[in-house]
Amino acid sequence: MIGVIDYGGGNLRNVLNVLKHLDVESDLVASPDDFHSTDRVLFPGVGAMGDCMRVLEERGLTEPLRQWIAEDRPYFGICLGYQVLFEASEESSNVHGLGAFQGRVVKFPGDTGLKVPHMGWNAIQRTDPEDPIWTGVADDAHVYFVHSFYPQPEDEAMISSRTEYGVEFASSIRKGNTFACQFHPERSQQVGLQLIKNFAHG
């Protein structure tokens, strides 16, 4: 059972539909008790960290999420579900993230000549092609991005893929049973489906 974190965002149904398409049992996690019936957590996300953290606090999900990650239980974060793993974000300067990992979420610099937000297809370069999460995914595969901010992990050893967009940034991380990515697998066609399948059956 994959529990999909219900943080009040608008793309939850898309993710649930993808899981249904893959014949993966799933349900929303909207309260602390919902964690008891799930084996894996998937945190999709669009929106700002400040609004997201406020809803997580209101629903009592913050501490259960921190505990889940601290216990190294399977976690898959998408976009905002990636960013909230870190300590803080330039987008919401007075708001703390989950702080599961050290690092900050920063905005793309404005002097690259490239449009922000970074929107559309771009390539990823995997740092460890042998990681089971990448099974069936080619190096330099293209995935779909929509974001203006990205995490800068202090521990570069946890970077699972990198992407170039004016600057090189960590487009995904892997730490134990936690995998999180800045791109949207649910919008990345076969590559994205393969990643979610690898997580669901890993």
Q: Which residues are catalytic?
A: 79, 184, 186
Q: Please state the three-class secondary structure of 20-53 as a single string.
A: HHCCCCEEEECCHHHHHHCCEEEECCCCCHHHHH
Tell me how far apart the alpha carbons of residues 100 and 102 are, in angstroms, rounded to a whole number.
7
Q: Is the Cβ–Cβ distance between 173 and 82 less than 8 Å?
A: yes
Helix intervals (H) in the chain: 12-21, 49-58, 62-70, 80-83, 189-201
Q: Is the Cβ–Cβ distance between 186 and 45 less than 8 Å?
A: no
Tell me how far apart the alpha carbons of residues 171 and 159 are, in angstroms, rounded to a whole number.
8
Residue 28 neighbours by CB distance under 10 Å? 15
Tell me how far apart the alpha carbons of residues 8 and 11 are, in angstroms, rounded to a whole number.
9
Q: Is the Cβ–Cβ distance between 133 and 202 less than 8 Å?
A: yes
Q: Name residue 139's amino acid.
A: D
